[in-house]
Amino acid sequence: MIYLLFKIVFTEMALILTLLFRNPLRKFVIMGLDRLKRGRGPLVAKSVGATVLVVLCSAVYSAMEIQRRAREGGAINPTEEVLMANLLLQASLMGFSLFLAMITDRLHYYIKELHLVRQTLEGLKNLNKHS
């Protein structure tokens, strides 16, 4: 699961970098995101996001339970230390993945709005030239 989460985080980071800087892939990424946001895409994205959020809460709760047992019992065995580290890594990767997904969504929205404003401004400039 950790390898999958690392792949998701690095893919989202690459997607954000593609959206931030002008390059040949930016247009295709924007078109792909436009298509993903049509039809059932938003419903699927919200369902996946909610599922990841529930798993994130579960991992955080499990880590808190291990920590509570360590406080009550005094010492913690090595197995629980490894489990705690694994849970914290999973939780941090899931949280970061959700954050990057939100950043990607907002970047896409702002790029689309900027494009519409530029088109409107170009139209007004052309209208003023011909008048």
Q: Give the pLDDT confidence of 19-76 residue by residue, as tens digits.
A: 999 888 999 999 988 898 888 888 988 999 999 999 999 999 999 998 888 888 777 8
Distance from the Cα of residue 116 to its chain's centroid = 25
**Confidence at residue 71, expressed as pLDDT on a 0 to 100 scale:** 86
**Confidence at residue 62, expressed as pLDDT on a 0 to 100 scale:** 93
Q: Using pLDDT thresholds of 50, 70 and 90, give the confidence band for residue 99.
A: very high
CB 96 within 8 A of CB 53: no
- For residue 125, pLDDT over 90 is answered with no
**Confidence at residue 48, expressed as pLDDT on a 0 to 100 scale:** 92
Domain that holds residue 102: 1-128
On whether the pTM is more than 0.75, the answer is yes
Long-range CB pairs of 3-6 (<8 Å, 24+ gap) are 5/90, 5/93, 5/94, 5/97, 6/93
Bigger pLDDT: 75 vs 85: 85
Our count of domains for the chain comes to 1
Q: Which two tokens stand for residue 41?
A: 């895409």
CB 98 within 8 A of CB 52: yes
